[in-house]
Chain A
Amino acid sequence: MARTILPFGPQHPVLPEPIHLTLEIEDEIVKSAVPALGYVHRGLEKLCEIRDFHQMIQIVERVCGICSKIHAMCYCQGLEELMGVEVPRRAKYLRVAWSELHRIHSHLLWIGLFADAFGFESLFMQCWRIRERIMDINEATTGNRVVVSVNVVGGVRRDLSKEHQTWIGEQLKLVEKEVLALKSTIVSDYTVKRRTQGVGVLTKDQAHQLGAVGPVLRASGWAQDARMLGYAAFDELEFAPVVEYDGDCYARLVVRFREVLQSVDLVRQALSRLPEGDINVPVKGKPKGEVITRVEQPRGELLYYIKGNDTKFLDRLRIRTPTFANIPPLLAMLPGVELADVPVVVLSIDPCISCTER
């Protein structure tokens, strides 16, 4: 049968954001895929030349709403390293707590969207219902549900009272209970397995060679997670990356599901060991020199390159987001996939196009 060229996106029911794939199809089987970007490119990196380095925190938070907190933490961490600022320990633990809350709500959002991609609407609804508890925590502790602007260069701008800590602990108990109640559906349900097992396989070698990061990398058998670098307070917490080995959509689902429970544990660890003390230190001077820093976003490794020139503006801010790294692996997952499974495979990398294009 002759090959057909089929445009997938940029507008598609399964895509929350626009990306276009040119699919070459033969007999409903994908033979190749070529991406096209540029629908939401905003040039945010360039703004560092006209916004001072403190104002840039609010801008990097808007690279991606879903992981806004972690973008800001990575940026502040880079500047702190560049300027020799020692962040108080309490601030480091608070950064961990809010980061892991972000990971929980990001993964629950994704599991819901993923279920929606193969028509499991009630699972979508349940995941998003549980996620609301985390959004409520964000709102109560930071004043905002999604873009939680808590990071400053030198620490954090908000503290958690004893009452907040107790209340978060109670909410996490409920989140854990409700997530575990979904475990048999997410991990063992026939429908979920039929649509995800053996679909969009990325082998262990491919994952490494194509530069995959985050849950996509770990679902292909690599125990690599930027949290192992020990940034913020991760070096003082018990943590081991979640790994699965099959490299298919199901493995990527299971990694994220297990990471939700792991993040609940990490928030608990951070709050139970929260040291007393200041939450930020005054920062003097201007950044000068180059620094490269990494953290683990829900979607994977995030890298910031910052170049300062001893003025309040930066010479260069470069952001390598996880979805940007996971697009070449996506192109390797698609050949051999049935056309009906393309939305499931595309969604399995948890694509964030706002991040990708910045």
Chain B
Amino acid sequence: MNETITPITVGELPALAQKMWDEGMRLVTLTAVDLCDGNLDLLYHFDKDLTMSHYRLTVPKTETVPSISGVYFAALLVENEIKDQFGTDFSGLALDFGGHLYLADEVKSQPFCKLSITKKS
């Protein structure tokens, strides 16, 4: 069974997080997926009584996404992980590791982004 994942926009994200919180949903995690076209899928997984809801936010990799750690403190680890691995910036992180949750200070690349080749004309 392929999952039903509801698409959302960046503008809708803060209100969605607050709505989920008000409804007593547990934040399970976020998943980042590199779409290889310069965009990233951010999937937000919530749960209540073992029934999950999933939301998909598709954003350019370079776009800053509002953090939901102000509502769900538990999001801070996974948002920092995504920042490390995919380079996506989150604004308003409750605790910002600056892209170095896992990575050493000298690492400048995002190890989970797919490799791409730019052809010279």
Contacts and interface: CB of A to CB of B under 8 A. Distances in A.
Contacts of A307: 33
Tell which of B2, B103, B114 has the most Cβ of chain A within 10 Å: B2
A290 B5 contact: yes
Nearest to A41: B102
B50 A43 contact: no
Contacts of A324: 29, 77-78
Interface stretch (A23-31, A51-59, A314-322): A314-322
B111 A292 contact: no
B29 A81 contact: no
Contact of A226 (B50, B54, B72, B77): B50
A318 B74 contact: no
A120 B61 CA distance: 51
A211 B28 contact: yes
Interface residues of B, number: 34
B33 A210 contact: no
Interface in A28-45: 34-38, 41, 43, 45
Contacts of A38: 100-104
Contacts, number: 80
Given A34-B95, A211-B28, A328 B112 contact: no
Contacts of A43: 111-112
B37 interface: no
Interface string B104-121: 100000011010000000
Contacts of A36: 101
B28 A320 contact: yes
Contacts of B103: 38
Given A38-B104, A81-B1, A290-B2, A228 B29 contact: no
Given A38-B101, A224-B50, A357-B102, A327 B77 contact: yes
Interface in A284-332: 289-292, 294, 301, 303, 305, 307, 315-316, 318, 320, 324-325, 327-329
Contacts of A35: 77
B45 A325 contact: no
A46 B111 contact: yes
Nearest to B28: A303
Contacts of A274: none
Contact of B102 (A37, A228, A294): A37
Given A34-B95, A289-B2, A211 B50 contact: no
B64 to A, nearest CB: 22
A204 interface: no
Contacts of A325: 28-29, 74
Interface of A: 34-38, 41, 43, 45-46, 49, 81-82, 208-211, 224, 226, 228-229, 289-292, 294, 301, 303, 305, 307, 315-316, 318, 320, 324-325, 327-329, 357
5 contacts: A35-B77, A43-B112, A320-B29, A320-B78, A328-B76
- Which 9 residue pairs across A and B have the least CB separation, nearest first? A211-B74, A38-B102, A320-B29, A328-B74, A41-B102, A289-B2, A318-B31, A305-B31, A316-B33
